[in-house]
Amino acid sequence: MKISLLSIGNEILTGKILNTNITWLSSELAKMGCEIENHITTEDKEDSIISGLNFALVNNPNYLIITGGLGPTNDDITKKTLATFFNDTLQRNEEVLAHIKTLFEKKGIKKLNKLNEQQADLPSQCKVLLNPVGTASGMWFTKDGKYFISMPGVPFEMKAIMSSLVLPEFQSEFGAGVFLHKTILTQGVPESVLAELLENWESSLHPEVKLAYLPSESRVRLRLSIKGSDKNKLYEILDHEAQKLKAIIPEYIYGEENDRIEQRVGDLLLSKKATVATAESFTSGYLSHLITSVPGSSSYYRGSILAYDNEIKEKILNVSPDSIKNYGVVSEQVVKEMALSIKKIMGVDYALSTTGIAGPSGGTNEVPVGTIWTAIAGPYGVKAKKYHFGTDRSWNVKRGANAVLLNFLHQLESDHKKIK
């Protein structure tokens, strides 16, 4: 079933409000296996709305769901416009009027004004969808084998009508369809590189599985989707493809669906009854911020030393002046000493450290801007890893902190297996 969504409202076009209706509708309809053809937004003008309707019909959808413009004020013109579009007229609907009166009586208002009464004026050809929580009724039209459903733009009113009257109708007619998805979360690898790594796997995907790359700041979500009728079989197919994917790029994967790296790290530390501390230079406290953003992190996080200046590294973290002189402050030797020192000072099981050049200046030919060294000290020794990022300071700090957490997550998982 193909569906187009049309939103009406100047406030949406101008960015004054977020169009949460589209997000909710798309999500709910996708769960039922519906194909969303397009999202269209128009202003509160008759010619714009009609143009939007005609444009939506280009892709030949089965249904067109419209939101907005059903209120009692002069700028709410959707009813009149739809009447024009369907060569119809507005007529007073006594059932709707009685419903509106009941709603107002419950609020202690016994007399309706003219605008309230006009909410009962609806196109004569439409099937009325009574609004259980408001005065703006929904409308269902049929034309040339297509269905047009008009909903109020107020989110809780739209959801009430859709949930009680429209979605059950869809489910009854198209209930055999199931749409499932599984999202794999990756970090530390650009979308283009990820696509190269997964080229062979992607080309051999199950024919019914669709793959979408969804990049965001420093992360790429890989969403696998499938439609069919046998839910258990569909889950089996998705799980099989996901396991093949995880075997190809295990070093970049940190979870599924809505997982957060810092939350997964915290869960593992709690399960191991282990503690952690940080020594930060390059990441300027952002690593500590991510760790402590998890509720309950005080159970495993002991603290941090922000050693931005070399003197602090030497006097507080006991980094050898000779190491800084001989290897440079941005080096494997220094970052390892930072991790081992903070581990001893804080008396923790694990310690994380960072040093680097965030930018945009301060780099050299040998150590350019965006160079970062990270280290993890734990029960099985200390390991360091080097990265080369770009020249954007804020971006580098965030990528660096997340890179440390991803490595730490994999380290914790590895150590957990050793204990078993």
How far apart, in whole angstroms, are the C-alpha atoms of residue 283 and residue 270?
24
- What number of other Cβ atoms are within 10 A of residue 223's Cβ? 14
Positions of the chain with pLDDT under 70: 174-177, 419-420
| Three-state secondary-structure class, residue 354 | strand
Residues 401, 286 contacting (CB under 8 angstroms):
yes
Residues 288, 277 contacting (CB under 8 angstroms):
no
| Torsional sign, CA 304, 288, 285, 185 | positive
| DSSP code for 343 | H
Residues 22, 7 contacting (CB under 8 angstroms):
yes
The one-letter amino acid code at 202 reads E
Among 3.40.50.2000, 3.30.70.560, 3.40.50.280, 3.30.70.2860, what is the CATH number of 178-256?
3.30.70.2860
How far apart, in whole angstroms, are the C-alpha atoms of residue 78 and residue 215?
37
Residues 354, 390 contacting (CB under 8 angstroms):
no
How far apart, in whole angstroms, are the C-alpha atoms of residue 232 and residue 215?
29
Beta bridge partners of 210: 225
- What number of other Cβ atoms are within 10 A of residue 384's Cβ? 20
- H helix or E strand, kind and range, residue 196: helix 191-197
Residues 69, 8 contacting (CB under 8 angstroms):
yes
Residue 201 exposed, middle or buried by CB count within 10 Å (0-12, 13-18, 19+): middle
Q: Where are the beta strands (DSSP E) in 127-218?
A: 127-129, 138-143, 146-151, 178-187, 209-216
How far apart, in whole angstroms, are the C-alpha atoms of residue 291 and residue 295?
9
Beta bridge partners of 187: 219
How far apart, in whole angstroms, are the C-alpha atoms of residue 163 and residue 181?
22
Angle, helices 393-419 vs 261-272, to 10°: value is 30
Angle, helices 78-85 vs 46-56, to 10°: value is 60
How far apart, in whole angstroms, are the C-alpha atoms of residue 334 and residue 339?
9
Q: What is the pLDDT of residue 246?
A: 95
The one-letter amino acid code at 27 reads S
| Three-state secondary-structure class, residue 66 | strand
CATH level 3 topology of 261-419: Maf protein (3.90.950)
Domain at 2-174, CATH homologous superfamily? MoaB/Mog-like domain (3.40.980.10)
How far is the CA of 20 from the CAs of 17, 27, 42, 140, 155, in angstroms? 9, 11, 16, 22, 7
Same fold, 178-256 and 261-419: no
Nearest to 279 by CA among 300, 301, 305: 305
pLDDT digits (tens, 9 = 90+) for 270-303: 999 999 999 999 999 999 999 999 999 999 999 9
Count how many Cα atoms sit within 13 Å of the Cα of residue 139 in the half-sphere of its side chain.
Answer: 30
**What phi and psi values does residue 347 have, to the nearest 5 degrees?**
65, 45
The one-letter amino acid code at 124 reads S
Instruction: Mark residue 373 as left, alpha or beta (left: phi above 0; alpha: psi -120 to 50; beta: remaining).
Output: beta
- H helix or E strand, kind and range, residue 376: strand 371-378
Instruction: Write down the domain spans for the chain.
Output: 2-174, 178-256, 261-419
Residues 276, 300 contacting (CB under 8 angstroms):
yes
Instruction: Mark residue 146 as left, alpha or beta (left: phi above 0; alpha: psi -120 to 50; beta: remaining).
Output: beta
